[in-house]
Chains A and B, each alone.
Chain A
Amino acid sequence: MRTPRVLALGMATLVLVGACSSGGTPAPSAAPSTAASTTPASTAPSTAPASAAAKADIRIGSDNFYESKLMGEIYAQVLEKAGYKVERKFGLGSRQERIPTMDAGQIDLVAEYVGSGLGFYDKTKITGDGQANADALQAAIKSKGLTVLGISPGQDQNAFAVRAETATSMGLAKMSDLAAHQADIKWGLPSDCDTNPLCKGALVEYGITYPPAKRTPLDACSVPMAQALQGKAIDLAEFCSTQPAIAQFGFVLLDDDKKTQPAENIAPIVRDDYLAKVDAAAFKALLDAASAKVTTELLTTMGQDIDVNHKDVAEVAKAFLTSQGL
């Protein structure tokens, strides 16, 4: 009979529509404990004067890897505890995708590595000094209406690593040792190495003829890069110095003796039009206090918790803030 079928279909549709509209809170990394602290002033429009009580809603973005999400989550939780309402937009892609997103005003704050961040705009000004890089980065992005806040003491630099047995058999402890063996090893380098002075430029400075004969293109700091090194598909890999895989597999980081890699302290970048909506000084103080506690050791251990021990990023961030009394 036709009528019961139509009725059944109609009821099913109603149920579905009801479920979709009521059930939809898909915030993947939401911190539910602070939901109650939303202040009424937080929905003030952008033309409202920057009163001391104003804590405008903020959208925090991050790049696609765990450390960027971790830093974003740390800043998010610090702000939520202080009464801000935070919308997380993590995992936007790599720097190339995230920067246009921020320029277009879709996010208000993101954690940046001052060396590579500066390199995106002006590769000539990169140095081994974190504050100098931060200042140069600020100068480069001032015209876009962005401000760099205080830097962390901790860094996560690009680093080249080999397996422990390779280090022993070829006598490799620092990057300068590589030139003598360059033809014998299989190089795992990212595909943008050709155009990246931190990669190609650094290798050339160490006496490597570029491009190396045996070259395998893999993403730097990625799990396939670590697996390929472990599985002997490559002999030298490019990692990030706080990456958990290094300790996990017992790889040996080669010392950057010519200091080709820039200082990579972490600092939040925030849009000026957002700062105008809040008490800028208090906002900066809040985030600077958090950044000041982020050391290289803590970045490494937190990375291990997330990557090796598979803990949730939000949990790790919360544990960090609790242990630092923030």
Chain B
Amino acid sequence: MDGVVAFFTDPANWQGTTGIPNRLLEHLVISGLSIAVATLIAVPIGLYIGHTNRGSGLAINLANIGRAIPSYAMMVIPLPLTLSLAPVLGYDPTFGLDFLPIFLAMTFLAIPPLLVSTYAGLRSVDRDLIEAGRGMGLRERQILGRIELPIASSIIVGGFRTATLQVIATATIGAILSGGGLGRFIFDGLNQGLAGRSSIYAGAILVASLAIGVDLVLSRVQRRLTPVALRAPRRSGRSGPASVVGGPDLAAPAGGAA
């Protein structure tokens, strides 16, 4: 325990490329980029299959490959490819070692919760509302944007929270292939035997704190993005408008509606 305290109070651990601030930044960059790309891939597909209810089985099963294959395997399997493509695509092979594999693995990890929650969120919308929208003459895109998305937004953001939590926690494995981020404290500590224990604990504490902190922020965002009328009241008692919609308590933490 004192080793961990010593780790955090040692000024050398707060400076330079190996210090906590830089590793934190690296971790956020890797996690952020993978989640962003995963969102750009998964959400449009989810919107399509959710709105049209076509191809959902195929899409979801394909996406779940990202969950079924261990992230470590997803990181080391593309390694020969990311290295051999370096001269072809013109990037530094070191980039193909310490960034691309972990980026690919984290993107594949983030896609399933995003895709599934987008789909589930859209499917949870009461069909009557959509019929009403059609009756009013709204076009499909308007139905998606004005009716389905606002109602589904809380579930979709819930999926985003799940994806973010998983990616932040798992991005630590990038350190195995010389990647940066908070995983370096854990992995380097593992290599140093007994002397490295405090580094391992410190790394774990940092990753957990980051994940929880980001999740708290996102839960606020989730609440903000839910239309006011659909937010569950903070006190129990009157069930409020949520029951009119007929869906689940949408503003509650919907951590992955899978």
Q: Which A141-187 residues sit within 8 Å CB-CB of chain B?
A: 186
Residues of A within 8 A of B190 (CB): 94
Minimal Cβ-Cβ distance residue in A for B79: A227
Q: How far is the CA of A95 from the CA of B192 in the complex (A)?
A: 10
- A191 at the B interface (CB under 8 A): yes
Q: Tell whether, in the assembled complex, residue A231 and residue B188 are in contact, meaning their CB atoms are under 8 Å apart.
A: no
- A230 at the B interface (CB under 8 A): yes
Q: Tell whether, in the assembled complex, residue B194 and residue A96 are in contact, meaning their CB atoms are under 8 Å apart.
A: yes
- B133 at the A interface (CB under 8 A): no
Interface string of A232-249 (1 = CB under 8 A from B): 111000000000000000
Minimal Cβ-Cβ distance residue in A for B178: A216
- A129 at the B interface (CB under 8 A): no
Q: Tell whether, in the assembled complex, residue A190 and residue B191 are in contact, meaning their CB atoms are under 8 Å apart.
A: yes
Residues of A within 8 A of B187 (CB): 191, 217
- B177 at the A interface (CB under 8 A): yes
> With A218-B177, A224-B79 known to touch, is A231 a contact of B86 (CB < 8 Å)?
yes
Q: How far is the CA of A234 from the CA of B184 in the complex (A)?
A: 19
- B93 at the A interface (CB under 8 A): yes
Q: Tell whether, in the assembled complex, residue A195 and residue B86 are in contact, meaning their CB atoms are under 8 Å apart.
A: no
Q: How far is the CA of A234 from the CA of B98 in the complex (A)?
A: 11
**A155 vs chain B, min Cβ distance (A):** 23
**A307 vs chain B, min Cβ distance (A):** 15
- B142 at the A interface (CB under 8 A): no
Minimal Cβ-Cβ distance residue in B for A189: B178
Q: How far is the CA of A15 from the CA of B188 in the complex (A)?
A: 46
> With A186-B94, A231-B97, A233-B97 known to touch, is A191 a contact of B192 (CB < 8 Å)?
yes
**A144 vs chain B, min Cβ distance (A):** 15
Q: Tell whether, in the assembled complex, residue A232 and residue B192 are in contact, meaning their CB atoms are under 8 Å apart.
A: no
- B96 at the A interface (CB under 8 A): yes
Q: Tell whether, in the assembled complex, residue A228 and residue B192 are in contact, meaning their CB atoms are under 8 Å apart.
A: no
- A219 at the B interface (CB under 8 A): yes
Residues of B within 8 A of A96 (CB): 193-194
Q: How far is the CA of A251 from the CA of B176 in the complex (A)?
A: 22
- B15 at the A interface (CB under 8 A): no
Residues of B within 8 A of A312 (CB): none
Minimal Cβ-Cβ distance residue in A for B92: A233
Q: How far is the CA of A8 from the CA of B83 in the complex (A)?
A: 54
**A29 vs chain B, min Cβ distance (A):** 21
A94, A95, A216, A227: the one contacting B98 at CB < 8 Å is A216
- B84 at the A interface (CB under 8 A): yes
- A273 at the B interface (CB under 8 A): no
**B153 vs chain A, min Cβ distance (A):** 38
Q: Tell whether, in the assembled complex, residue A233 and residue B96 are in contact, meaning their CB atoms are under 8 Å apart.
A: yes
Residues of A within 8 A of B176 (CB): 219, 224
Residues of B within 8 A of A120 (CB): 193
- A192 at the B interface (CB under 8 A): yes
Q: Tell whether, in the assembled complex, residue B178 and residue A217 are in contact, meaning their CB atoms are under 8 Å apart.
A: yes
Residues of A within 8 A of B84 (CB): 231
Q: How far is the CA of A227 from the CA of B75 in the complex (A)?
A: 13
**B182 vs chain A, min Cβ distance (A):** 14
Q: Tell whether, in the assembled complex, residue B93 and residue A232 are in contact, meaning their CB atoms are under 8 Å apart.
A: yes
Q: Which A103-138 residues sit within 8 Å CB-CB of chain B?
A: 120
Q: How far is the CA of A216 from the CA of B80 in the complex (A)?
A: 17
Q: How far is the CA of A227 from the CA of B193 in the complex (A)?
A: 25
- B130 at the A interface (CB under 8 A): no
- B214 at the A interface (CB under 8 A): no
> With A191-B187, A216-B94, A216-B178 known to touch, is A224 a contact of B86 (CB < 8 Å)?
no
Q: How far is the CA of A311 from the CA of B86 in the complex (A)?
A: 32
**B101 vs chain A, min Cβ distance (A):** 9
**A218 vs chain B, min Cβ distance (A):** 5
Can you list 20 A-B pairs, Cβ within 8 angstroms, ordered by A? A188-B178, A191-B192, A192-B191, A192-B192, A216-B97, A217-B175, A217-B178, A218-B178, A224-B79, A224-B97, A224-B178, A228-B93, A228-B97, A231-B79, A231-B80, A231-B84, A231-B86, A232-B83, A232-B87, A233-B92
The 5 closest A-B CB pairs, nearest first, are: A231-B83, A96-B193, A233-B97, A233-B93, A191-B188
10 additional contacts (CB under 8 A) given A224-B79, A224-B97 = A94-B193, A191-B192, A227-B79, A231-B93, A231-B97, A232-B83, A233-B86, A233-B96, A233-B97, A233-B98
- A residues whose Cβ falls under 8 Å from a Cβ of B: 94-96, 120, 186, 188, 190-192, 195, 216-219, 223-224, 227-228, 230-234
- B residues whose Cβ falls under 8 Å from a Cβ of A: 76, 79-80, 83-84, 86-87, 92-94, 96-98, 175-178, 184, 187-188, 190-196
